[in-house]
Amino acid sequence: MKKLLLSAFLLITMQSLFSQSISSIDYLKWSDPSMFTLSPSPIIKGYGYFSDSLSKANNDKIFYVHNNEYYCIESWADYYYWFTLEYKHLFEDPQLYAYYYWSNDNFGMASYIASNKYLGKYYPSSIQINFGNQPVENNRLGSSKFIAEKDNMKIEEVKKQFQTQNEINKTTKEQKQLKEAPEIFQKDQFRKNKLENNAQRIDATETSKNSMPEKTR
């Protein structure tokens, strides 16, 4: 009997631990799918007309839409890449995040999102970021100050912050999605192409330097 009670207690404890959401993540886990799964769900989502069917065909993965292209959201890296595209006007130099994303730079991505480059009052997610001993100029996500997590008024403010942009794009997006098959963003191919292009630019620069006359170097 005691063994049964002990087993039941351990089972309940384990379930309780695993059911708890992770609210603070290490920047090294920015691209880790398990961290995204265990974190609280973002407040702002981007489901489109084909999101459900794509999810069913891809082992229940999440798909958000931007300009009729569907993005598989498996990590915070993916989520914020989609977010910087969908709400580009709320970021300063959003191409920086794109650069960190295709180069798979977790520190670059996480530090960019936590910095003042994000111009919104509150974040669309409720996670905090831990940078450990890594020096960062700003970490707005080092505390819950800019997080609307459990405050209903703040959550409503977050939603209103993005409502106008959604309304502007809603009609044209729905018309496109009803008429056209969805395009799926190919993350691996995107990164491969960008890395190859970057390598070619570096090679071209080195070749140019080597071909210069000695006096002009």
pLDDT surpasses 80 at 15: no
Band (pLDDT 50/70/90 cuts) for residue 195 is: confident
CA–CA separation, 159 vs 50, rounded Å? Answer: 23
| 31-86 pLDDT tens trace | 999 999 999 999 899 999 999 999 999 999 999 999 989 999 999 999 999 999 99
Band (pLDDT 50/70/90 cuts) for residue 165 is: low
| 97-110 pLDDT tens trace | 999 999 999 999 99
- What does the pLDDT average to over 191-206? 68
For residue 53, give the nearest of 41, 44, 63 by alpha carbon: 63
Three-state SS letters, the chain: CHHHHHHHHHHHHHHHHHHCCCCEEEHHHCCCHHHHHHCCCCCCCCCCCCHHHHHHHCCCCEEEEECCEEEEECCHHHHHHHHHHHCHHHECCCHHHHHHHHCCCHHHHHHHHHCCCECCCCCCCCCEEECCCCCCCCCHHHCCCCCCCCCHHHHHHHHHHHHHHHHHHHHHHHHHHHHCCCEECCHHHHHHHHHHHHHHHHHHHHHHHHHCCHHHC
CA–CA separation, 90 vs 69, rounded Å? Answer: 20
The structure tokens 């831990």 sit at 130
Which carries the bigger pLDDT value, residue 191 or residue 4?
191
Contact 115, 137 (CB under 8 A): yes
